[in-house]
Amino acid sequence: MAEKLVEDSKSLFEENPIYHLAESWVFLYSDSRLAEKAFYAFEELATNSSSLSDNNNPDTLSNLVISSSLNEKETYSQTLNQLQEQHPNYSFLVDMKEKGALFDSLCQDFMKNKA
């Protein structure tokens, strides 16, 4: 449904940054071959749309973290560090920490049960 909506909107909103954001999210979730295209769209939104998109905005940074991770880009660590330094209590980071702690706990339980 989202793919059709984005495609139908293209002729009306192709120059709008919000359209490109929506298109990028559809790329990420619909076809893994399009993930790199989504990465470049997020990167362009972050760097070229300073009046519309703040390079220091936690949502923009978290989108770049996700897309750079999916595309195995070198910018992953840099962007994640920027997000951690500027917005240490951002919900995305809190969620990552909670999931990391849960994973570590499950690994410890597994090792105890294995021994």
CA nearest neighbour of 21 among 35, 42, 2 = 42
CB–CB of 41/24 below 8 Å? yes
Separation between Cα atoms, residue 111 and residue 115, nearest integer Å: 6
Domain 2-114: assigned CATH number? 1.25.40
Residues 38 and 67: beta-carbon distance below 8 Å = yes
- As a whole number of angstroms, the distance between CA 62 and CA 67 comes to 9
Q: How far apart are CA 87 and CA 95, in angstroms?
A: 13
Q: Where are the domains of the chain?
A: 2-114
pTM for the model: 0.57
User: What is the pLDDT averaged over residues 5-19?
Assistant: 73
pLDDT at residue 51 in the model = 53
Percent of the chain with pLDDT over 90: 34
